Chains A and B, each alone.
Chain A
């Protein structure tokens, strides 16, 4: 894929596409198109009791529907008020050219990311990191060490610093540039001290606008991933296109993501399935992202671990894996926080659905919905890595059985928002070791998962 030529073509289309008001785009291009296409292709949950679908015909329909939807909807350019549109044929041709393998990170920390299928025996990679979780500055380093010291963490991302040298960080201001520089250079320095200087780093977390990314991006390695969030649903602006242009010209890995909101413009579960699949084709084939990602979000629970979202994720990404070699990334957002069994059970269902839906790698966990100050630790990333390795060893039906058992364990807890404890209450901050109660909890849930048939003890 010639990404530079493709980028220029994308920019041209953003300047020449049909002019549509944003309101009409939302309603006509997204909401009504979703409704029509869901009906046309009969997208629905054909096995409502299962988490992992076995309906092959449904997967074929979802793929066709997603391509048709993307061709009809296009991508809205907020700055030009135009729709960037591609035909079905163009979308399919571009999808065929996306890479099916990529090296992430450098040196001995480098990992090979490959397109997986739901029955692949190679484990889904583990990007262990608490992206977006706000943390007080003084805990940034021990929190990062808690992840980097875990051997099963293949790649990482960083939390978001709440303040920078005593100041609130303001986007689109000099403080964003300074904080972005600080994040990238500190992350690299901490990784070097942990002996993991080449680990793939997904950032820059603090950079909401383009200026932080552009100013501090040169402190990232080319084999690091540049985070690039598409605006829900199917919208970009010049901030996003500026980041994309910079990343492509640097030959950096583009880690674009699209997070459809359940109950939002997608409507219910069938629309969510459609937008998840179409969103990944958009990020990968049209925006040139080697590893497109998503964290589907529940509008009331703010997590990705409700039953309907796990079902939607499985169907959408199994369809994607069946019909393409796109290498998607799932970001798991859990309700449970550190020091709760709820978090660990949610990590189990997330890891299994990622493995058995053909994801290339899993990012997270993001405990306590990723928004509670300091609630993240390396131990749940260890647990996630073990679950990913184990899930690749079991068959589809065993996976379904374990998902049922794990989900039963946490489903009633979600509305109670068990946000748990911040890092400094579950880890000894000086030694960066988990406290005994958190370690005991981890061991108990791990033993339980092993008793259910998930071989987390055989890595």
Chain B
């Protein structure tokens, strides 16, 4: 990362929204293109934040605050982007906790880690019905549906989502489904036809990247 980005990077890592916007504006005024700010500074900072979290050097609130700071900068920079000059995303993900399951901290960790690693994420929250995942994925034009469950009797509802997507071959060909959470295993994911399984938040990011590669290769 070039030195000119140090202040913005630090402000984001500190989760300081106001200062982050201020530093981003300074860069724009100095003639730095918004895309450069995203590509060279923000993405790299977020990768670093994500790695620190995976080593528990920082914690969920720090991750949340860094995410909020980036959103604030994004809101400031997006109107300045020229047509066609879009921030490159890793992929689009809808994520939520299976129907009947109200546990959200693990899911939130995954959601934030995906965001800080460059994915566009629509978080549907907890207790999400099987059809609601599918409808949200269609509306959001999602590449990946990510479903989490902590309780055994909520797992069949994950399978329902997979079956609903399977029933629409056009959607299935362009949508990957990944699952995770306490009682989920690779064997169960294979059995129900999920495309990916992950053990923790960092693993989920790697799996999402792998699934995006598969989608790109198939298209």
Contacts and interface: CB of A to CB of B under 8 A. Distances in A.
B61 A170 contact: no
A261 B61 contact: no
A169 interface: yes
A26 B108 CA distance: 11
Given A168-B155, A169-B153, A299-B56, A267 B61 contact: yes
B59 A134 contact: no
A179 B152 CA distance: 12
Interface in B68-110: 99-106, 109
Interface in A241-284: 261-268, 271
Interface in B36-66: 53-54, 56, 59-62, 64-65
Interface string A145-178: 0000000000000001010000011111001100
B60 to A, nearest CB: 5
B151 A264 contact: no
A171 B151 contact: yes
A31 B105 CA distance: 13
Contacts of A31: 60-61, 64
B56 A170 contact: no
Given A170-B153, A261-B105, A208 B100 contact: yes
B153 A264 contact: no
Contacts of A179: 153
A26 B105 CA distance: 10
Interface SS of chain A: helix, strand, loop or mixed?
A: loop
Contacts of B157: 170
A302 B182 contact: yes
Contacts of B56: 262-263, 268, 299-300
Interface string A18-39: 0000000011000110110000
B200 interface: yes
Contacts of A372: 185
Nearest to B203: A300
Contact of A208 (B62, B105, B153): B153
Contact of A268 (B59, B105, B154): B59
B183 interface: yes
A44 interface: no
B156 interface: yes
B132 to A, nearest CB: 14
A233 B62 CA distance: 16
Most B Cβ at <10 Å: residue of A35, A171, A264, A271: A171
Most buried by A among B54, B106, B153, B156: B153
A433 interface: no
Given A27-B61, A268-B59, A300-B56, A231 B182 contact: no
A232 interface: yes
Most buried by A among B103, B154, B183, B200: B183
A62 to B, nearest CB: 19
* Interface of chain B, main secondary structure: helix
B148 to A, nearest CB: 13
Interface residues of B, number: 31
B152 A267 contact: no
Interface string B137-174: 00000000000000111111101000000000000000
A34 B106 CA distance: 19
B59 A208 contact: no
A369 B56 CA distance: 19
A367 to B, nearest CB: 14
A78 interface: yes
Contacts of A302: 182
Contacts of B155: 168
Contacts of B154: 170-171, 208
Given A31-B64, A170-B157, A302-B182, A232 B152 contact: no
A75 to B, nearest CB: 14
Nearest to B54: A300
A172 B99 contact: yes
A162 B184 CA distance: 12
Scoring A263, A266, A271 by chain B CB atoms within 10 A of each residue's CB, the highest score goes to: A263
B61 A35 contact: yes
A231 B103 contact: yes
B59 A267 contact: yes
Contact of B102 (A78, A162, A168, A265): A78
Interface string A87-102: 0000000000000000
B60 A239 contact: no
B158 to A, nearest CB: 11
Given A209-B100, A264-B59, A267-B61, A171 B109 contact: no
A371 interface: yes
A142 to B, nearest CB: 20
Contact of B109 (A160, A233, A264): A264
Given A31-B64, A132-B152, A369-B182, 11 more contacts: A31-B61, A34-B61, A168-B159, A171-B101, A172-B100, A208-B100, A208-B152, A261-B105, A263-B60, A265-B60, A299-B201
19 contacts: A34-B61, A134-B152, A134-B183, A168-B159, A169-B156, A170-B154, A171-B99, A171-B100, A171-B151, A239-B102, A261-B106, A265-B61, A265-B105, A267-B62, A268-B59, A299-B106, A299-B200, A300-B54, A371-B185
Interface of B: 53-54, 56, 59-62, 64-65, 99-106, 109, 151-157, 159, 182-183, 185, 200-201
